[in-house]
Amino acid sequence: SFTDIFDVDHFINVLRDEVSIVKELPREYSWSSREYYATGIRATRIKTAPVHASADWYLENVLPVMQSYGIAAISPFSHRLAFDKLPVEIQHLRCKVNFEALAFVPRIRLIGETLVNRLRDPSGKLQASGTAVLRERTDDTEKERAGKFVVLHLRFD
């Protein structure tokens, strides 16, 4: 889930002046659950979001549902906002979310740092601790001789 991967408090804090974010649905919307949407066709569920929907699509299709019911569930949902022709304010918010608000939880950051250190460590002097988290055992001199590497994030849409 989102909370297993990202630092929720950091996310909320960074975006507090931009949007209102709650950790749990208000009591009046507690009925809006996965189970609720799994058991039938619901007026608040939007299943037709195009892969790269425009901001106008959201205004035309999602906003009326939110205005009528106070809530909208877009499912499945994944990275569905087209990037071209976005208003500057939305583009700014997208960048702020992607590059400032989304921060991994410490456990994932540690794994990432460990992987980077392993790639940079020319001597391979790493060992696993009792908690299966890798720790670096190289000194500063070895770090200066660290190798270079390239990381590619390959994906398709």
Q: Do residue 66 and residue 140 come from a single domain?
A: no
Q: Do residue 116 and residue 97 come from a single domain?
A: no
Q: Do residue 34 and residue 81 come from a single domain?
A: yes
pLDDT tens track, the chain, 157 positions? 889 999 999 999 999 999 999 888 889 988 888 888 888 888 899 888 887 778 888 899 999 999 999 989 887 766 655 566 778 888 889 889 989 999 999 999 999 888 888 877 756 665 444 344 444 444 555 555 566 777 777 765 4
pLDDT score at 123: 67
Question: Contact 25/67 with Cβ under 8 angstroms?
Answer: no
Model confidence pTM above 0.75: no
Element (H, E) at 111: helix 106-120
pLDDT score at 156: 57
Q: Do residue 83 and residue 135 come from a single domain?
A: no
Tell me if 39 is assigned to some domain. yes
Give dist(CA 39, CA 130) in Å, integer: 45
CA-based end-to-end distance of the chain = 21
Q: Do residue 91 and residue 51 come from a single domain?
A: yes
pLDDT score at 128: 45
Q: Do residue 50 and residue 112 come from a single domain?
A: no
Nearest to 107 by CA among 134, 136, 143: 134
Surface-to-core class of residue 101, CB atoms within 10 Å of its CB (0-12 exposed, 13-18 middle, 19+ buried): buried
Tell me if 65 is assigned to some domain. yes
Tell me if 2 is assigned to some domain. no
pLDDT score at 133: 47
The residues, any chain, with a CB within 8 Å of residue 45's CB and separated by 6 or more, are 37, 72, 73, 75
β-bridge mates for residue 73, sequence order: 45
Tell me if 71 is assigned to some domain. yes
pLDDT score at 152: 75
Q: Do residue 59 and residue 131 come from a single domain?
A: no
Report the domain count for the chain: 2
Q: Do residue 38 and residue 110 come from a single domain?
A: no
Structural domain span for residue 85: 10-101
Tell me if 149 is assigned to some domain. no
Q: Do residue 34 and residue 91 come from a single domain?
A: yes
Q: Do residue 97 and residue 110 come from a single domain?
A: no
Q: Do residue 96 and residue 123 come from a single domain?
A: no
pLDDT score at 136: 47
Tell me if 66 is assigned to some domain. yes
Give dist(CA 14, CA 125) in Å, integer: 38
Tell me if 156 is assigned to some domain. no
